[in-house]
Amino acid sequence: MEKNLKYQLDEKVNLYNQFTFIKDDPVSIPHLFSKKQDIEIAGFFAAIFSWGNRTTIINKSKELLQLMDNAPHDFCLQHNSSALKRLEGFKHRTFNATDLLYFVEFFNFHYSQHDSLEIAFTKGMNKKDETIENGLKGFYTYFFSLPDIPERTKKHIASPEKNSSCKRLNMFLRWMVRNDKNGVDFGIWKNISPAQLICPIDVHVARVSKRFNLLHRSQTDWNAAVELTAYLRTLDKDDPVKYDFALFGLGVSEKHQSTS
């Protein structure tokens, strides 16, 4: 049965892990850039905005990047007060200008000292960590280490310590870390292994996973993400999160079938 399941899921990975997948997905946003830091910042915003309708997520991400002159790294490092004023009308669902200005402040602080965002996630990790869990906890602490943090902004960055599934951050990490030749994920970070990644999970992925008996936990939380990934590791110990393509793709196609 497991061989048959692996075959089915591998088939779906091959179907969805294709360059043609990019244009309708938020991963299209970092693909607008070639400079590493622009890919990181654009990808981070696109991932954080990723709840709800994918077309809206892509459009709002592009709207924000236009406000940053389509050069997010330069903008975060070199903005002046009039450039910041441009951001004051920006809003995506519950993410507003207060949150955005703090994010820009963080990126200014971070990139003034570091060449890449990767170190923000590896700060809290140990060499023997089996998963990215400590990296996500460390990132949350580091991201909110600046003075005068707006309390409302904390809800936009998830942490395993709050038992969040960390779906959006895990998706962002997949984009940055996974490195195959299919052209969807970037593989530009080298100090985190694809084997350490945790599968992004939302209600659609959880539903598909339960149908295949990959997941038994009822809540869609951090423990569910860990449980699902542990099973996916039995199918591919070096790259378990490649199955995100299969589970997400099946979830989306099922959703369309149920609403058509």
pLDDT in tens, 53-107: 999 999 999 999 999 999 999 999 999 899 999 999 999 999 999 999 999 999 9
User: Binning pLDDT at 50, 70 and 90, where does residue 134 land?
Assistant: very high
Distance CA 247, CA 252 (A): 9
This model's pTM is above 0.75: yes
Question: Do 65 and 29 meet the contact criterion of CB atoms below 8 Å apart?
Answer: yes
Nearest to residue 206, comparing CAs of 192, 188, 220, 226?
220
Cα 49 from chain centre: 10
CA angle 51, 53, 54 (to 5 degrees): 90
| 55 Cβ contact list (under 8 Å, min separation 6) | 24
Q: Work out the angle at residue 134's Cα, subtended by the Cα atoms of residues 58 and 52, and round it to the nearest 5 degrees.
A: 20
pLDDT of the residue at 260: 28
Instruction: Please answer whether residues 129 and 135 qualify as being in contact, where contact means their C-beta atoms are separated by less than 8 angstroms.
Output: yes
CA atoms within a 13 Å half-sphere pointing along the CA-CB vector of 190: 1
